[in-house]
Amino acid sequence: IRPSDRPTMLRFIAVAAMCAVASAQYINAPLGYARTLGAPLLSRYATPVAVAHAPVAIAHAPVAVAAPTARIEEHDPHPQYSYSYSVNDAVTGDNKEQHETRDGDVVSGSYSLVEADGTRRIVDYTADPINGFNAQVHKEAAVAHAP
């Protein structure tokens, strides 16, 4: 088949398909429900079987109600804690640290991290009932690494 004959062949296939669809018709099958030969007609039915179900005994256990318990929450009138951590991962470049101290209602601490531009952000914060939460942010210049 030459490439120049392809459009002609595609047209021929399209026309042949249209002719096949136009000449299609139903298969001439007999109408109605025809009886198959050789199978005997059903002449008798079996006598129905009497079925009786015995009642099912169901016993529900009484619901146990728990007695109310008094839950005593321990309250420390002067809480104190202190924690700190630091991360310096040369593989991922993650470099940060934090420490915090609480003495009663006064919390103070700081955290630092290296930002995307290489500068270090340091945040010092305090919180108390009188002044609320206060934070001071400082930035240190980027540290140049040796090549």
Amino acid symbol at 90: A
In a domain, 44, yes or no: no
**Residue 101, pLDDT score:** 96
Domain of 125?
80-140
In a domain, 6, yes or no: no
In a domain, 130, yes or no: yes
Residue-by-residue pLDDT tens, the chain, 147 positions: 577 778 888 899 999 999 888 877 766 665 666 655 555 556 666 777 888 888 888 888 888 888 888 888 888 889 999 999 999 888 888 889 999 999 999 999 999 998 888 899 999 999 999 999 999 999 998 765 545
**Residue 92, pLDDT score:** 85
Q: Are 124 and 110 in contact (CB under 8 A)?
A: yes
In a domain, 33, yes or no: no
As a whole number of angstroms, the distance between CA 81 and CA 119 comes to 30
Q: Quote the pTM value.
A: 0.47
As a whole number of angstroms, the distance between CA 112 and CA 100 comes to 12
In 3D, which of 121, 129, 74, 116 has the Cα closest to residue 96? 121
Q: What is the DSSP letter of 1?
A: -
In a domain, 119, yes or no: yes
As a whole number of angstroms, the distance between CA 110 and CA 137 comes to 10
As a whole number of angstroms, the distance between CA 8 and CA 17 comes to 14
- Who contacts 98 (Cβ-Cβ below 8 Å, separation ≥6)? 84, 85, 86, 109, 110, 111, 112
What's the domain count of the chain?
Answer: 1
**Residue 42, pLDDT score:** 60
For residue 123, what is the domain's CATH number? 3.10.450
For 25-81, the three-class secondary structure string (H helix, E strand, C coil) is CCCCCCCCCCCCCCCCCCCCCCCCCCCCCCCCCCCCCCCCCCCCCCCCCCCCCCCEE
